[in-house]
Amino acid sequence: MSATAAPKIIFPTCPRNEISKLPKPPLSQTKPSIPSLWLTQDFFGEELIYTWFVDSDDIWVILVVRKLIWDRKGYLEHYKFINHFGNVARQYGYNLQVCEPRNKKPIAAYFCDFETAPLNCNVEIDYRFGRSLFSSPKDFKFITTTTEE
């Protein structure tokens, strides 16, 4: 795969259950929870996030956001939010997907090809004006390691 190609990713369908019926975030009384997004949620997403959890394939962290608050934020605020949470999820070896309640398509994602070195990550943000999600990659690349020559 070339350095500029987006990894082949299968995005899980967003949960369509009532918020109260969604899985709970991982929480342990005896050891640090993996992944731990609690502090990030407190600083960057307390008013925006309903809940978050790890999907059943143990590959994705799914954030479920409040639609009205998400829609009031601009593209750069969406990017900042996704970048913060995506970086934390990546550190634990997870991809990140942002969903709205009862909408099966994701509204944003931060995903990495964990099989390449240096690690190559991408951000996708849904457009509000008719384009389908992930139909045209934005090519935001995050090289997480650098080498000095």
Q: Distance (Å, rounded) from C-alpha 77 to C-alpha 69? A: 11
Give a yes or no: residue 114 inside a domain: yes
Record the pTM.
Answer: 0.71
The domain tally of the chain equals 1
Supply φ then ψ for residue 37, to 5 degrees. Answer: -105, 10
Q: Distance (Å, rounded) from C-alpha 50 to C-alpha 47? A: 8
Give a yes or no: residue 12 inside a domain: no
Give a yes or no: residue 106 inside a domain: yes
> In this structure, which amino acid lies at residue 14?
C
Which residues partner with 60 through β-bridges? 95
In tens digits, the chain (149 residues) has pLDDT values of 444 555 566 777 787 767 666 656 555 444 445 556 665 665 666 788 888 888 878 889 889 898 899 999 888 999 989 998 899 899 889 999 999 887 878 899 999 988 888 888 989 888 654 454 455 555 545 555 544 54
Q: Distance (Å, rounded) from C-alpha 113 to C-alpha 3? A: 11
Asked if 96 contacts 85 with a C-beta cutoff of 8 angstroms, the reply is yes
Give a yes or no: residue 149 inside a domain: no
Give a yes or no: residue 112 inside a domain: yes
Give a yes or no: residue 15 inside a domain: no
Q: Which residues contact 138 (CB under 8 A, 6 or more apart)?
A: 122, 123, 124, 125
Domain holding 112, by residue range, is 35-143
Give a yes or no: residue 5 inside a domain: no
